[in-house]
């Protein structure tokens, strides 16, 4: 069955925070209607891009991100682990491939990788590519030379989130600057890597902070190819464990704004889905989310189970993007 495509508006890189704050505040039904129309202009509305994420190095990170279970600054009772063996990672990748998943993502709890560890990650990337899958890694800050090495190894996507607005950022992390994050994204773009960059909602930020974060992403020289939107998973032992829950409808508004502002990007539902109702996730998809992480775990936190996702896809007449 063919799907009507609306004319595709020109991609913008000149958004203002005031404009986006007004966009998020539009009447809910109007906002979602526009987001769905934009979504249909660029994507099949019944298709979801599905990835899986494996923690290849757990805990002991030198950063002090206030939400993170893997920070060495927080007592979360997480057992530190060394970088996984290449063969073990590729065994997981093969299982994901057999399950019909097209993109395999690998995350390491580092401030930045050293060259020895990067050699092992490159072997993992090459193995994933040999399976016919797309590859994505998140390794912390990169130099330009490291980004080029990853590109030459065949890496498709580099993930590096902004987390929040520039203004609110010092309330979240102080061990690296906002410009450090933007520099890493610039190195990835210059190397020719696709960029996966988004943020976390529910860190105690305001709606204006959420608008400002989306402006930072949409006003980059090119829009991130993937925009993961995470809802804070509160981990005991972290400074942000006792924050109030973000309203799901506010999260959905942010998804819709991201879709309107970055119409050709995949907008991904990432952490926090496990606690969302099926109805809230359905509204996220209607608002333009068209990507998610599949699997029972996301790094160190629970994710919606694969059985629940299969059931939800069936009930919503959605299907995973073909491998």
Which amino acids are annotated catalytic? 61, 65, 68, 105, 136, 196, 268
DSSP conformation class of 317: T
Which of 49, 146, 129 is CA-nearest to residue 89? 129
d(C-alpha 290, C-alpha 38), whole Å: 12
Q: Which residues contact 41 (CB under 8 A, 6 or more apart)?
A: 5, 6, 7, 8, 9, 263
Residue 219 is inside which H or E element, if any? none
Characterize 209-226 residue by residue with b for buried, 16 or more Cβ atoms within 10 angstroms of its Cβ, and e for exposed. Answer: bbbbbbbbbbebeebbbb
Q: Which residues contact 267 (CB under 8 A, 6 or more apart)?
A: 227, 229, 255, 258, 259, 288, 289, 290, 291
Alpha helices (runs of H) in 274-322, residue ranges in sequence order: 278-286, 306-316
Is the C-alpha dihedral spanning 24, 265, 166, 292 positive or negative?
positive
**What's the maximum distance between 2 C-alpha atoms anywhere in the chain?**
53
Please work out, in degrees rounded to the nearest 5, the angle formed at the alpha carbon of residue 163 by the alpha carbons of 291 and 218.
Answer: 65
Which structure tokens are listed for 23? 């966009």
For residue 139, report the phi and psi dihedrals to the nearest 5 degrees: -130, 10
d(C-alpha 173, C-alpha 84), whole Å: 27
d(C-alpha 320, C-alpha 323), whole Å: 9
Q: Which residues contact 87 (CB under 8 A, 6 or more apart)?
A: none
């Amino acid at each position: 069955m063919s799907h009507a495509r609306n004319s595709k508006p020109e991609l913008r890189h000149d958004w203002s925070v005031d404009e986006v704050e007004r966009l998020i505040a539009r009447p809910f039904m109007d906002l979602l209607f526009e987001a769905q129309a934009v979504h249909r202009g660029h994507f099949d509305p019944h298709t979801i891009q599905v990835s899986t994420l494996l923690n290849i190095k757990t805990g002991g990170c030198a950063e002090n991100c206030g939400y993170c279970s893997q920070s060495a600054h927080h007592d979360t009772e997480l057992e530190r682990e060394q970088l996984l063996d290449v063969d073990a990672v590729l065994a997981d990748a093969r299982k994901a491939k057999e399950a019909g998943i097209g993109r395999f993502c690998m995350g390491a709890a580092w401030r930045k990788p050293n060259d020895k560890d990067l050699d092992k990650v490159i072997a993992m990337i090459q193995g994933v590519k040999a399976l016919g899958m797309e590859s994505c890694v998140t390794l912390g800050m990169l130099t330009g030379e490291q980004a080029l090495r990853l590109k030459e190894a065949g890496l498709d996507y580099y993930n590096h989130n902004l987390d929040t607005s520039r203004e609110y950022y010092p309330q979240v992390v102080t061990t690296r600057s906002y410009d450090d994050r933007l520099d890493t994204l610039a190195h990835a773009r210059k190397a020719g890597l696709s960029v996966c960059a988004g943020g976390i909602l529910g860190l105690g930020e305001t709606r204006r902070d959420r608008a400002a974060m989306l402006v930072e992403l949409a006003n980059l020289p090119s829009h991130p190819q993937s925009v993961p939107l995470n809802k804070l998973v509160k981990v005991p032992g972290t400074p942000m464990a006792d924050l109030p829950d973000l309203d799901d409808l506010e999260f959905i508004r942010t998804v819709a704004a991201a879709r309107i502002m970055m119409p050709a990007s995949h907008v991904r539902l990432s952490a926090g889905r496990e606690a969302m109702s099926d109805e809230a996730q359905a509204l996220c998809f209607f608002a333009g989310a068209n990507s998610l992480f599949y699997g029972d775990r996301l790094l160190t936190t629970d994710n919606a189970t694969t059985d629940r996702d299969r059931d939800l896809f069936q009930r919503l007449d959605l299907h995973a993007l073909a491998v």
